[in-house]
Structure 1
Amino acid sequence: MTDLLPHHLRSLQAEVADLRASSRRGRYAPSPTGRLHLGNLRTALLSWLITRLQGGEWLLRIDDLDTPRNRPGAEASIQEDLRWLGLLWDGPVLRQSERRGLYATVLSALRRSGQLYPCRCSRRMLADVSAPHGRSGVYPGFCRSLAPRWGLEDERLPSWRLRLEPGRLRWQEELGPEGCLDGPQEVGDVVLRRADGFLAYHLATAVDEWALGIADVVRGLDLWPATGPQVAVLERLGLEPPRYWHLPLWMDGQGQRLSKRDGGQGLADWQAEGLGPNAVIGRLAASLDLVPEGAELSAQELLQQCQLEPLRQRLIQPRAES
């Protein structure tokens, strides 16, 4: 269904295909909502390693579309932490806020082709009905068959949902659970533009993975459920999804995953202990048994010690042991 793409984007198809074939391009895509915690930094290190082990380019993309959640100085601190660790990216920093035109073009093409419908269901309404009927978070399709009303009603615009057809969504998964979800039953019709006018994360991310020629997406296991909606967007556009590596999460002493929201331990805490970049890389790598405890080495030295398939097997083990 690549004919859904506007002509000037269809012309990128061959270029993107060549890019994926010639370079296993990867990316790290944090949101500027606060300082990176140690789990974020470990993900960045592994994303960098997996890309560099394949001779690929590693891009830094800032996912800053949800502007109310962005925090002043967060992007600068992200770049500072990555540079300090020696995790240097290729090319300029990419910002989703500067790519809105691309996403809007794809969104408009999907709407013109009849793939979208307006939805006026509130979050509260969906929360009230989701618990007794199947899996929470899957849209029950209340507005699917209604006559489309795109304009303002009671000073409120609708969200725009992508209509999913029956069938399973599949992707190549290297670490997490099998890359397969039932579209209507386990994913549901995906919001691509929110009722407040913001372009949705799933739309922007899916379009970027394709347009930037990303071959490998390395991110935390908590984002595995987001893969279904993003693959749904790519499939509807007739585009091939990248390969996904959903990494085991780093837990704190209470068994809770680290998070920026909860003020999870960050690089500054280890720097305050007097640790330099090599000691921090050593601790991050040792947390996955890639090096012995107490090892100190640069990111480049770690790269020289690793091979892709043994690394993948080592990353699978924590999930198998849990």
Structure 2
Amino acid sequence: MGSHSKLPEELLTLLKEGERLRSQYYRGRFAPSPSGPLHLGNLRTALVSWLRARLRGGEWLLRIDDLDTPRNRSGALESIQKDLSWLGLNWDGPIILQSKRRKLYESVLLALKQQGKLYPCRCSRRLLGNRNGLNDGDGSNIYPGTCRELGLPWDATDGRLPSLRLRVGKKFSNTSGDVLVRRADGFIAYHLASVSDELFLGINEVVRGEDLAKALTSQLAVIDALKQKPIAFLHTPLFLGTDGIKLSKRQGGEAAMSTHAEFMNAENLIGFLAATLDLVPQGSELSALELLSELRNNQGSIDTVLTA
């Protein structure tokens, strides 16, 4: 397959617009999946991300990562909006649904394929685990390149599509391996959709949980494949439960659904979340705007809780 030096004009126009937005002012985002109610860890990450945007006089977008439709839960989107509004974490512009942007991601896939940067892969997670002790489903392990030079067919075989992987450059081969960009079930993979949105929406800083730090090199590899400049990725510390285990929607679902009942008011919850990061003393009660006002006098305090 021949290689082309340029992306299609339509994608180049969108990328240039994203670059223009990034160069003008701060643009951040919060991007939960509607697979259940937000738990305390999600809410704390949202708070930090919102504070970063507001301290810099920038914009804060709300994107819903709802591509993985089997995992979506009825009422989750409404619950997310309700919790953020209750806390006073207002977002800018309309809510962005990834499910409405599938054609855009497909265009990126097609462009990368036409440039010879993709190849079909028939490796399942179970197969990779059995052969190599690896599972790259979350971006934390390195794909060994099993199917890279096999020249497998792009179409479905025995009723099953291949997954698609990105051939990464040498500087990423030992850190991310070839990145999964479309799953075998036909769903656009997390790395491709997320990176496409950061670039096209003009996001210049992503604040997310530390558990996603392992996805960083894979996403930087996708940015590199699209010949774009890297953006900043910062990570908040994990929010651990009383048992020392990371909260997840599965573990923290019940607590998340009773968040309003557990805390007397939004000010109580904002104070609790901020105190877990040593931004305010324990027992503080203040609104998101009051916290923002306090941090304007000490902007460096929020930087100390984030890692690249």
Report TM bin, short chain.
over 0.9
Aligned residues: 300
> How far did residue 10 of structure 1 move?
1.0
| Corresponding residue for residue 178 of structure 1 | none
Question: Aligned partners of 2:7, 2:185: CA distance in 1, in Å?
Answer: 25
Question: Aligned partners of 2:111, 2:213: CA distance in 1, in Å?
Answer: 27
Alignment counterpart, residue 19 of structure 2, candidates 17, 33, 38? 17
Alignment counterpart, residue 162 of structure 1, candidates 154, 161, 166? 166
Q: Report the TM-score, using the length of structure 2 for normalisation.
A: 0.92
| Corresponding residue for residue 222 of structure 2 | 233
| Corresponding residue for residue 300 of structure 2 | 309
Pair 1:285-2:274 in alignment: yes
Alignment counterpart, residue 37 of structure 2, candidates 35, 38, 50? 35
Question: Aligned partners of 1:42, 1:10: CA distance in 2, in Å?
Answer: 35
Provide the secondary structure at the position in 2 that maps to 1:284: helix
1:174-233 per-residue CA deviation (whole Å, 9 max, x = no partner) reads: xxxxxxxxx222211111111111111100000000000001100001000111111111
More displaced, 276-285 or 135-144?
A: 135-144
> How far did residue 5 of structure 1 move?
2.2
Provide the secondary structure at the position in 2 that maps to 1:11: helix
> How far did residue 26 of structure 1 move?
0.3
Q: Are the structure 2 counterparts of residues 107 and 84 from structure 1 closer, same or farther at C-alpha, using a change threshold of 3 Å?
A: same
Q: Which runs of 5+ in 2 are unaligned?
A: none
The answer (yes or no) to whether the contact 2:140–2:214 under 8 Å persists in 1 is no
Question: Aligned partners of 1:39, 1:265: CA distance in 2, in Å?
Answer: 13
- Identical amino acids, percent of aligned pairs: 54
Alignment counterpart, residue 142 of structure 2, candidates 138, 145, 170? 138
Alignment counterpart, residue 203 of structure 2, candidates 188, 210, 214? 214
RMSD of aligned C-alpha atoms?
Answer: 2.0
> How far did residue 114 of structure 1 move?
0.5
More displaced, 259-268 or 280-289?
A: 259-268
Question: Aligned partners of 1:274, 1:66: CA distance in 2, in Å?
Answer: 32
Q: Are the structure 2 counterparts of residues 309 and 17 from structure 1 closer, same or farther at C-alpha, using a change threshold of 3 Å?
A: same
> How far did residue 93 of structure 1 move?
0.4
Q: Are the structure 2 counterparts of residues 37 and 21 from structure 1 closer, same or farther at C-alpha, using a change threshold of 3 Å?
A: same
| Corresponding residue for residue 294 of structure 1 | 283
| Corresponding residue for residue 198 of structure 1 | 187
Q: Report the TM-score, using the length of structure 1 for normalisation.
A: 0.88
| Corresponding residue for residue 73 of structure 2 | 71
| Corresponding residue for residue 234 of structure 2 | 245
More displaced, 72-81 or 15-24?
A: 15-24
| Corresponding residue for residue 276 of structure 1 | 265
Question: Aligned partners of 1:2, 1:227: CA distance in 2, in Å?
Answer: 26
1:79-123 per-residue CA deviation (whole Å, 9 max, x = no partner) reads: 000000000100000000000111110100000111000011122
Question: Aligned partners of 1:61, 1:86: CA distance in 2, in Å?
Answer: 17
Provide the secondary structure at the position in 1 that maps to 2:170: coil
The answer (yes or no) to whether the contact 1:6–1:106 under 8 Å persists in 2 is no
Provide the secondary structure at the position in 1 that maps to 2:251: coil
Question: Aligned partners of 1:103, 1:243: CA distance in 2, in Å?
Answer: 22
Question: Aligned partners of 1:199, 1:268: CA distance in 2, in Å?
Answer: 29
Q: Are the structure 2 counterparts of residues 136 and 61 from structure 1 closer, same or farther at C-alpha, using a change threshold of 3 Å?
A: closer
The answer (yes or no) to whether the contact 1:4–1:110 under 8 Å persists in 2 is no
The answer (yes or no) to whether the contact 1:25–1:213 under 8 Å persists in 2 is yes
Provide the secondary structure at the position in 1 that maps to 2:195: helix
Question: Aligned partners of 1:232, 1:18: CA distance in 2, in Å?
Answer: 22
Question: Aligned partners of 1:79, 1:5: CA distance in 2, in Å?
Answer: 36
Q: Are the structure 2 counterparts of residues 82 and 143 from structure 1 closer, same or farther at C-alpha, using a change threshold of 3 Å?
A: same
Provide the secondary structure at the position in 2 that maps to 1:161: strand
